[in-house]
Amino acid sequence: MTPQAITQNTLFYGDNLDILREYIPDQSIDLIYLDPPFNSNRSYNVLYKDEGGRDSQAQITAFEDTWHWDRSAEATYTHLVTGVGGKVGSMISALRSFVGTNQMLAYLVMMAARLVELHRVLKPTGSLYLHCDPTASHYLKVVLDAIFGVENFRNEIVWQRTTAKSLASRKLPDNHDVMLYYGKTDQVVWNDNAMRDPYDLDDLDDKTLKKYSNIDSDGRRYQLTDLTNPNRDRPNLTYEFLGIKRVWRWTKERMQAAYEAGQVVQPSPGAVPRYKRYLDEQRGKPVGDVWVDIPPLNSQAAERLGYPTQKPLALLERIINASSNPGDVVLDPFAGCGTAVAAAQKLGRRWIGIDITHLAVALNKYRLKAMFPEVQFAVVGEPQDLAGARQLANDDKYQFQWWALSLVRARPQGGEAGSKQGKKGADKGIDGVISFIDDHTQKGKRVIIQVKGGSVKSGDVRDLVGTLEREKAEIGVFITLEAPSKPMRQEAASAGFYHSPGWDKDYPRVQILTIE
């Protein structure tokens, strides 16, 4: 069945390969940004077998520092060679001969299958930015050359993601990422004005100071530039002006108007007239392919969500402004914590985000609602009824936990998207947190959340009460898939009330919410 056009902003939960094939029509996307998980210093995703023993591309789990070559990778490789064929098939076959059937090839095969689909859904005027690090960027460029065509390579952008650190090693510190920028065709959208840095008139470099060395009576810097036409065979633009006959760039009427406005000057009697070009009227310096002006997120950044690979909003804003227009559709097939989606929403673009974990989908929803309270979007792939919630809880307790937290817009504590391992270290009885302020002190207060997808008992509620006391939190919420027993409700009631000075109301200090 041919996918139908998506008419609203949408978050998808699931394997992006399946979602691209099932939901995203041909030539429907204007801009794709992807930051696929691959880094020798962090966990990233590997396909694994489902419970029925079949190779599954709908489930993903995380292993430390490794992809695996398995039957799923072999099947995808065979599809690329025999099904897709052409340059793509030849390329991936050659990579297998060179790289071998190891973790790197497993990664490249899985990426190639997705990049084929991303190329399909991109409009002829569309662009793709693939964010990676030097671990695999050279291989990914070969893959992209085969899929998009060498002629459609635009730039290899280097982003300095951190300052170089002094390391006792026999190599230079690693402090940059790479973004490979490709167009679908040579008709890509490109907004040149968005890729210029405005001049700081109080802090000009030596080259600019020398170029704009003249200063008028108002203190404005300018340079005198050529007004003659490079095409000497223009009879209609050949005339005498201020005693000098030349082939000019402008008509005589426009030249006279500019002269009367003070924009055309004759430096000295008998000299060729020149155009007075003011620095403060220029568009700014072009942004090159080495970006050192967008710092990474530090630990105190207001936009930081605690996501290990989170990119700055400014980085995505630059890309979206450069390669799309308001109303265009931006797709991020590895949505993570939603920086691309948030930037697209901020800049008036439509968007589609895809991720394989409920943690990432929850972070996207939380971030969008926090930044844009009136935002409207659809979520596809989450449980829609109690049976679906039970299935999720049985399949993966951490995915269930992260999804349940999103129902009350709580921020998850710990865990990494793509990981079945959940939190690192003890959770101290806290699965999620809601922060709030309700008095004149403006002091942050907390609701702490616990989620249970299995059997529950009154002791679980007593544990939550103990956690509340230890953490000095105001309210505790116990989210359960199973209906609470009478002793559980009694334990919750015995915790008493929290009085809110802001709303002058009492709220149960321990609250039990069921998924239903």
Confidence of residue 429 (pLDDT cuts 50, 70, 90): confident
Lowest mean pLDDT among 88-92, 98-102, 165-169, 191-195: 165-169
The radius of gyration of the chain's CA atoms, rounded to the nearest angstrom, is 29
Centre a 10 Å sphere on the Cβ of residue 133 and count the other Cβ atoms it contains: 15
Buried b (16+ CB within 10 A) or exposed e, 53-80: eeeebebbebbeeebebeebbeebbebb
Q: Is the pLDDT of residue 117 over 50?
A: yes
Q: Pull the structure tokens for residue 50.
A: 């489902």
Res 358: pLDDT = 87
> Contact, 122 vs 162, CB < 8 A?
no
* Highest averaged pLDDT of the listed ranges 274-288, 290-304, 343-357: 343-357
Residue 478's identity, in one-letter code, is F
Mean pLDDT for the stretch of residues 398-412: 89
The C-alpha atoms of residue 23 and residue 20 are separated, in whole angstroms, by: 6
Mean pLDDT for the stretch of residues 218-241: 93
Q: What percent of the chain has pLDDT over 70?
A: 90
Mean pLDDT for the stretch of residues 86-114: 91
> Contact, 292 vs 238, CB < 8 A?
no
Res 296: pLDDT = 85
The C-alpha atoms of residue 29 and residue 51 are separated, in whole angstroms, by: 35
> Contact, 330 vs 344, CB < 8 A?
yes
Mean pLDDT for the stretch of residues 244-251: 95
For helices 358-371 and 339-346, give the axis angle rounded to 10 degrees: 30
The C-alpha atoms of residue 412 and residue 435 are separated, in whole angstroms, by: 12
The C-alpha atoms of residue 84 and residue 456 are separated, in whole angstroms, by: 51
Q: Is the pLDDT of residue 46 over 50?
A: no
Confidence of residue 168 (pLDDT cuts 50, 70, 90): low
Segments of 168-234 assigned E as strands: 176-183, 196-197, 214-215, 221-225
Pairing of strands 176-183, 153-160: antiparallel
Note the residue count of the chain.
516
Q: Is the pLDDT of residue 471 over 80?
A: yes
Element (H, E) at 33: strand 29-34
Three-class SS state of 108? helix
Residue 86's identity, in one-letter code, is G
Res 384: pLDDT = 86
> Contact, 306 vs 360, CB < 8 A?
no
Element (H, E) at 98: helix 86-99
Q: Pull the structure tokens for residue 35.
A: 């930051």
* β-bridge partners, 183: 127
Res 304: pLDDT = 77
Torsion of the alpha carbons at 357, 359, 364 and 370, rounded to the nearest 10? 170
Mean pLDDT for the stretch of residues 6-31: 95
Residues 6+ apart with CB under 8 A from 384: none
Element (H, E) at 104: helix 103-121
> Contact, 467 vs 428, CB < 8 A?
yes
Res 53: pLDDT = 32
The separation between the first and the last C-alpha atoms of the chain, rounded to the nearest angstrom, is: 33
The C-alpha atoms of residue 513 and residue 452 are separated, in whole angstroms, by: 11
Res 50: pLDDT = 26
Pairing of strands 350-355, 196-197: unpaired
Q: Mean pLDDT score of the chain, rounded to an integer?
A: 87
Res 306: pLDDT = 67
Res 3: pLDDT = 84
From the list 264, 282, 146, 144, the residue with the least C-alpha distance to 221 is: 282
At residue 241, what are phi and psi to the nearest 5 degrees?
Answer: -140, 125
3 state SS for 289-331: CEECCCCCCCCCCCCCCCCCCCCCHHHHHHHHHHHCCCCCEEE
Q: Pull the structure tokens for residue 444.
A: 């942050």
Mean pLDDT for the stretch of residues 53-62: 33
Res 420: pLDDT = 43
Q: Is the pLDDT of residue 418 over 50?
A: no
The C-alpha atoms of residue 318 and residue 162 are separated, in whole angstroms, by: 18
The C-alpha atoms of residue 395 and residue 338 are separated, in whole angstroms, by: 25
Q: What percent of the chain has pLDDT over 90?
A: 65
Lowest mean pLDDT among 392-406, 416-430, 450-464: 416-430
The C-alpha atoms of residue 131 and residue 294 are separated, in whole angstroms, by: 15
Question: pLDDT for 127-166, tens place per residue?
Answer: 999 999 888 899 999 999 999 999 999 999 999 988 877 6
Segments of 161-232 assigned E as strands: 176-183, 196-197, 214-215, 221-225
Mean pLDDT for the stretch of residues 93-99: 91
Q: Which long-range CB contacts under 8 A does 56-59 form with residues at least 24 apart? A: 57/15, 57/17, 57/18, 58/14, 58/15, 58/18, 59/15
Q: Is the pLDDT of residue 51 over 80?
A: no
Question: pLDDT for 297-331, tens place per residue?
Answer: 877 777 777 666 789 999 999 999 999 999 999 99
